[in-house]
Structure 1
């Protein structure tokens, strides 16, 4: 599947999350459950029962327990509209997207969240290598620190998209994806409620009320949960207990959310102390445009982009910090229509950490917004390796003499600790 073709299907990004729509009110929203027509509900119920039976057999969970948990499950017709791709006439608009997320309300809330959790953010930064500003930016863009976590029951969302996805070219793949997430939800809730896997038909220690509450918790319209908007599979694989209370609560525990975001980014390849992205030089837009293909792959050496004038060595201490000249990057194009409706674009060079953010939410718009939100909070988008410790490297024919590993060893030998912003 071509990445660019589904660029704006952002809300279904299932690496970790799905950003919820902006709501004006901070008042908790009522859970929305609209029943579908009887024929659709009948097909839905049959397919759901089949999946519950499969999970019961595979994990040896009593079928009756699963059926009780889904007795009141319903399809949500509005969900199918929300996940439809934009019409052919729709024009992607980076400027509008950026304005939506990098704005005073979120930034003010971000600074307050940082102040409230400064010590723990510093701890997670040291453990994961992910800057506090990046973690704060992600949670701010996702939910404004818990203000917008969604107003749909998660079991209804995932079962609707698993068994009643709208007619689109990728319907089979999307339905299978949400079937997988629905199974992950069941297993997540089972273990959260004290059950063991496989259950071996023994529910001793299980708290049925907690199991049902987990299935009924609110989520976004794509099934993402809590402050960081993790999908069930991401909760099971990457969420951690940050506050040490013995359970993971991404809805009420900021420490759990912070630690989980840091762990997700670390496990997906975040390079500590490395930059995220840089704007393309104005006089090299044409050269950058030729290299922008929309594919999320690191293809071009930093040294090559410097030679083409797309980057400057001074950006982020390139070639004088921890970024190797032969390390790879990609060209990111962020389109928007100008005031006359003519297609334009801003161009950036994305490094490895840019694609790590893309793993959180598969959108270039999203990744660049996180980077700029973090910079607005004070993030220094550059290598933290002191230039004084690095020998000048040539523009061409560079080797790995300044690799991050060797620089780290060199740095340790001097007993100097660079500032991490």
Structure 2
């Protein structure tokens, strides 16, 4: 039999020699961001504008490399699937999220009532957004936010400007809250915490709702509840006004009515003249929403200003409708389970 020690010795020596010369990037053979002129320029810019120490930022960039999974997840699919409300809806409208929403509401009833009274946003909408985003805090993301945002800021030209701004906001956020920027976890796109706020949104809209003198969207359910409500209020939520209602159509509406966009711009009375009717004040301004499913008849709804506000959280009519319908299901279950204060949960 061949002497394995003698045979393997040259191979081990070659491997060790290779590792000795490979340097700090040997694990991935991918240069760190400290080798990227754009990242170095970014660090110098933050030093001049915000007083960061550029050398410290560059040291953090030296520990960070492009994340291939982030780049894969951010890319639109090569062969995009046809829009399908039938396929999209069950992801969020299911028994697990409805039951979870009821439990979340019952556990946090006081803070939800407080947020609703302060910001004018219905409790069920706050609950549903948190349910859609992270299933009530169960799935807040396992990516290092600094790494994810750096990857997108310097290796994703399509939206580099946006993600450089968010990386800047993240570093400011970490400094303001005494956080280690290398330790914060979130989504592949850099969204953070129970409500999945981007760093810029957290700095602009998040609130200390539990009164502990800090905003902690990762661990404080109270802060998450108050921050979601304030985000919607700041984007124009109209307290006591409708969100969306089903529309009845005479045939297929003109394409231009859909192309008018998701922001309300069409008078309900004018839509009625074109065969699109709904149970709402004719002078109300609305958007015509199409919930398309291949092989099935399209559902049409009228979306009002509050529907549009939900899309500021995620710019998709499917997303906003999922939030609305999940909210309605959760409120219905709360109504059925409640013997006291029924008017709170069982309004028409």
Deviation at residue 43 of structure 1 after TM alignment: 7.8
2:266 is the alignment partner of 1:300: yes
Using a 3 Å threshold, how does the CA distance of structure 1 residues 336 and 130 change in structure 2: closer, same or farther?
Answer: same
Q: Match for residue 118 of structure 2?
A: 127
Between Structure 1 and Structure 2, whose CA radius of gyration is higher? 2
The unaligned stretches of length 5 or more in structure 2 are: 1-25, 333-342
Taking the TM superposition and a 5 Å limit, the aligned residue runs for 1:339-418 are: 345-378=298-331
Q: Match for residue 408 of structure 1?
A: none
2:253 is the alignment partner of 1:335: no
- The secondary structure found in structure 2 opposite 1:227 is coil
- The secondary structure found in structure 2 opposite 1:336 is coil
Cα distance in 1 for partners of 2:35, 2:264 equals: 42
Q: Paired residue for 1:226, among 181, 193, 204?
A: 193
Higher RCO (C-alpha under 8 Å, 6+ residues apart):
1
Cα distance in 2 for partners of 1:81, 1:100 equals: 21
Deviation at residue 126 of structure 1 after TM alignment: 0.7
Q: Match for residue 53 of structure 1?
A: 44
Contact residue 288 and residue 347 of structure 1 kept, 8 A: no
2:206 is the alignment partner of 1:239: yes
2:176 is the alignment partner of 1:191: yes
The unaligned stretches of length 5 or more in structure 1 are: 1-33, 166-170, 194-209, 320-324, 380-417
Contact residue 264 and residue 305 of structure 2 kept, 8 A: yes
Q: Compute the TM-score of the two structures, normalised by the length of structure 2.
A: 0.83
Instruction: Judging by fraction of residues, say which structure has more helix.
Output: 2
Cα distance in 1 for partners of 2:311, 2:28 equals: 34
Taking the TM superposition and a 5 Å limit, the aligned residue runs for 1:222-301 are: 222-281=189-248, 283-287=249-253, 291-293=257-259, 295-301=261-267
Q: Paired residue for 2:81, among 75, 90, 95?
A: 90
Cα distance in 2 for partners of 1:239, 1:190 equals: 16
2:69 is the alignment partner of 1:102: no
- The secondary structure found in structure 2 opposite 1:49 is helix
Contact residue 137 and residue 193 of structure 2 kept, 8 A: yes
Deviation at residue 50 of structure 1 after TM alignment: 1.6
Deviation at residue 84 of structure 1 after TM alignment: 1.1
Runs of 4+ in structure 1 over 6 Å off: none
- The secondary structure found in structure 1 opposite 2:141 is coil
- In the comparison of the two structures, how many residue pairs are matched? 312
Deviation at residue 191 of structure 1 after TM alignment: 0.8
Cα distance in 1 for partners of 2:232, 2:186 equals: 22
Cα RMSD after superposing both structures: 2.4
Cα distance in 2 for partners of 1:299, 1:237 equals: 28
Q: Match for residue 14 of structure 2?
A: none
- The secondary structure found in structure 2 opposite 1:330 is strand
